[in-house]
């Protein structure tokens, strides 16, 4: 089950639908200006849910069956990422939406260049944060994150890498 009320996105888009009802393509670009996460959203659940395949309708329309995506998704220079657990996050989005409405695919990356995040009651500085999408068959985020905090005078560095399954 998806939880669309947990994420809010503001964007501008220039999209075109071309072709016939048997074979069509939605192409163009989407520029993200703002993304916000509901303060009560469970980030872990959202990440886990993003890796699950979208449910296929029992009887998809012929129109959807013949449709393909070719859409670039990128962040604007003044992109804002707002969550209750982050502060001053600077992120860049450069993705391609490919595939079909029944089997969408994301390719590209989301990079966090600076900012702070709160995890388990501690504030961490983001040294590196990348989410790459390289699987041309399904949406499968690959994480590469390095966070740092100071606890009792000791610098603690945490690195996470891999997929949601690993």
Q: For residue 89, what are its two tokens?
A: 């996050």
Please tell me the least confidently modeled range out of 9-13, 88-92, 115-119.
115-119
pLDDT band at 65 (very low <50, low <70, confident <90, very high): confident
Please tell me the least confidently modeled range out of 2-6, 94-98, 103-107.
2-6
Tell me what pLDDT residue 1 has.
41
Instruction: Indicate the domain borders of the chain.
Output: 4-163
- Residue 68 above 70 pLDDT? yes
Alpha carbon 154 to chain centroid distance? 33
- Residue 39 above 60 pLDDT? yes
Tell me what pLDDT residue 2 has.
46
Q: How far apart, in Å, are the Cα atoms of 129 and each of 56, 98, 114, 116, 150?
A: 32, 24, 8, 11, 19
- Residue 110 above 90 pLDDT? yes
Q: What angle do CA 81, 83, 88 make, to 5 degrees?
A: 55
This prediction's pTM: 0.80
Between these two residues, 47 and 79, which has the higher pLDDT value?
79
């Amino acid at each position: 089950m998806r939880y669309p009320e947990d994420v809010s996105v503001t964007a501008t888009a220039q999209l075109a639908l071309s072709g016939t009802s048997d074979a069509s393509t939605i192409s163009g670009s989407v520029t993200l200006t703002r993304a916000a996460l509901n303060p009560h959203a469970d980030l872990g659940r959202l990440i886990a849910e993003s890796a699950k395949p979208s449910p296929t309708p029992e009887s998809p329309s012929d129109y959807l069956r013949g449709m393909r995506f070719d859409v670039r998704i990128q962040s604007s220079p003044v992109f804002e990422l707002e969550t209750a657990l982050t502060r001053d996050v600077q992120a860049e989005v450069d993705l391609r939406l490919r595939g079909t409405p029944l089997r969408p695919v994301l390719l590209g990356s989301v990079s966090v260049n600076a900012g702070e995040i709160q995890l388990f009651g501690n504030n961490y500085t983001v040294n590196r944060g990348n989410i790459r999408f390289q699987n041309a068959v399904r949406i499968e985020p690959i994480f590469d994150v390095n966070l740092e905090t100071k606890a009792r005078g000791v610098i603690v560095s945490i690195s996470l890498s891999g997929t949601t399954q690993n």
